[in-house]
Amino acid sequence: MSADAPSRFAVLLDSDFVYSFRKSRVTLIATLVTVSIIMAALLAPWIAPHDPFDVATLSLLDSELPPAWAEGGDPHFLLGTDNQGRDVLSAILYGSRISLAVGFVSVFFALVAGVAVGLISGYFGGLVDAIFMRIADVMLSFPTILVALLVSGIVRGALPREMHENAALAVLVFAIAITTWVQYARTVRGSTMVERGQEYVLAARLVGRSSASIIFRHILPNVMGPVLVIATINLAMAILIEATLSFLGVGMPPTNPSLGTLIRVGNEYLFSGIWWVVIFPSLTLVVLVLAVNLMGDWLRDALNPKLR
C-alpha cells in the first residue's frame, strides 16, 4: 500500500460507523458501563477486597453488616455483608464473573450453531432446510425459560448428584444455547437465501468454487452484521436467563454464586430488613443488562442502512 494512503485504522476512525458511536452519548455511557463491569469481573481476584469463598477469612462476627455509609456499617465492607459475614461487593464481583462467563460462552455456542444451521439451510434449501426450520419452529414455540428448565432438569437427572455443582456451569450454557440458537439460524438463513442469489455468488460458482468455499469466503462475511446485533442483545438475554434459572434454584449453586444466585439467597433476608444483600446484586444485574441492550440497540441502528 502506498505511504500516503490513510491506514485502515484511520479510515475506520473516520467512518460513519464510528461517528454514529461517538455521537450517541447513551451508547458511549452504556459501553463504558459494560466495559467497567467486565473489567471489574475479570480482575475480581485482584481488586475484590475479600475472597468470599475463602472460609478461613470469613467471620460470623462480621455477618449482616449494613453498607459502609449506613449506621453500624464497617468501612472494610463497602456494600455490607451477608449472614455468613461475606462481603457483598466481593460477592458481586465474583458473581458477575460467573454471569458474564455463562453469557459469553452460551452466546458463542448458540452463535456458532445457529450461524452454521442458517448457512446450510439457506444455501442448500430443500429437505435439509425443511427439517432444520421445523426443528426451529418447535424450539420457538416453547418459552425459553421452560426449555432451559427442562434441559437443566433432564441433565441434572441424568448426572449423579455429586457432579451437579461442577456441571452447573456447563448445564446452564447448554440450556441457554439450545434455546437461543434459533434466532441466529433464522436470521442467517434469510440473509443467506438473499446472498445466494447475488451475482457475486454466481460468479464464484462459475469458476468452480465449492459450496463450502462459497459459504465461508463469500456468504459468511456478508451475513455477519445482523448476527452481531443479535449476539449483543442475546448476551443481555443470556445473562437474564442465567439469573432466572439460578434464582429458581436450578442454576449456579450458592457455593459458587452468580448474580442470580446472590439475588435468590439475598431474597430470603429481604423481610428481615437486610436489604443490601439482595438490592446490590440486583442493581448490578439491571445496569449490566440495560447497558448491553443499549449497545445492541445502537449497533442495530448503525448497521441498518435505512436509518442512516
Partner 1 sequence: MTATSEPLVSMQGLKKHFDVSPPWLNRMLERKPRLHLRAVDGLDLEIPRGTTFSLVGESGCGKSTVARLVVGLYAPTAGSIRFEGTDLTDRPAGDPPAIRRRMQMIFQDPYASLNPRWRVRDIIAEPLKCFGMLPDRASEDREVGRLLELVGMNSQDGEKYPHEFSGGQRQRISIARAISSKPDFLVCDEPTSALDVSVQAQILNLMKELQRELGLTYLFISHDLAVVHFMSDFIGVMYLGRIVETGPARQVFANPQHPYTRLLLDTIPDITMARRDREPVAGEVPNPIDPPPGCAFHPRCPFSDARCRSELPELRNAPSGARTACHAVAEGRLADGPVRAVPSTPAQMPT
Tell me which residues touch partner 1 (CB under 8 A). Answer: 1-2, 5, 198-200, 202-209, 218, 221-222
Quick one: which of 263, 271, 264, 270 has its CA closest to 249?
264
Specify the residue, 44 or 223, whose C-beta has the smaller distance to partner 1: 223
Collapse the DSSP code of 77 into the 3-class scheme (helix H, G, I; strand E, B; otherwise coil) and give the result. coil
Q: How far is the CB of 151 from partner 1 (least distance, A)?
A: 31
C-alpha cell at 306: 435505512
Q: How far is the CB of 212 from partner 1 (least distance, A)?
A: 13
How many CA atoms lie within 13 Å of 207's alpha carbon, on the beta-carbon side?
Answer: 7
Q: How far is the CB of 129 from partner 1 (least distance, A)?
A: 12
Say how many C-beta atoms besides its own lie within 10 A of residue 69's C-beta.
10
Collapse the DSSP code of 37 into the 3-class scheme (helix H, G, I; strand E, B; otherwise coil) and give the result. helix
Q: How far is the CB of 208 from partner 1 (least distance, A)?
A: 3
How many CA atoms lie within 13 Å of 153's alpha carbon, on the beta-carbon side?
Answer: 7
Specify the residue, 10 or 32, whose C-beta has the smaller distance to partner 1: 10
* Rounded CA separation 54/51 (Å): 6
* Rounded CA separation 268/145 (Å): 22
Specify the residue, 13 or 26, whose C-beta has the smaller distance to partner 1: 13
Q: How far is the CB of 123 from partner 1 (least distance, A)?
A: 15
Contact 254/118 with Cβ under 8 angstroms? no
Specify the residue, 56 or 127, whose C-beta has the smaller distance to partner 1: 127
Specify the residue, 161 or 306, whose C-beta has the smaller distance to partner 1: 306
Q: How far is the CB of 115 from partner 1 (least distance, A)?
A: 16
Specify the residue, 157 or 208, whose C-beta has the smaller distance to partner 1: 208
The H helix count followed by the E strand count for the chain is: 13, 0
Say how many C-beta atoms besides its own lie within 10 A of residue 74's C-beta.
14
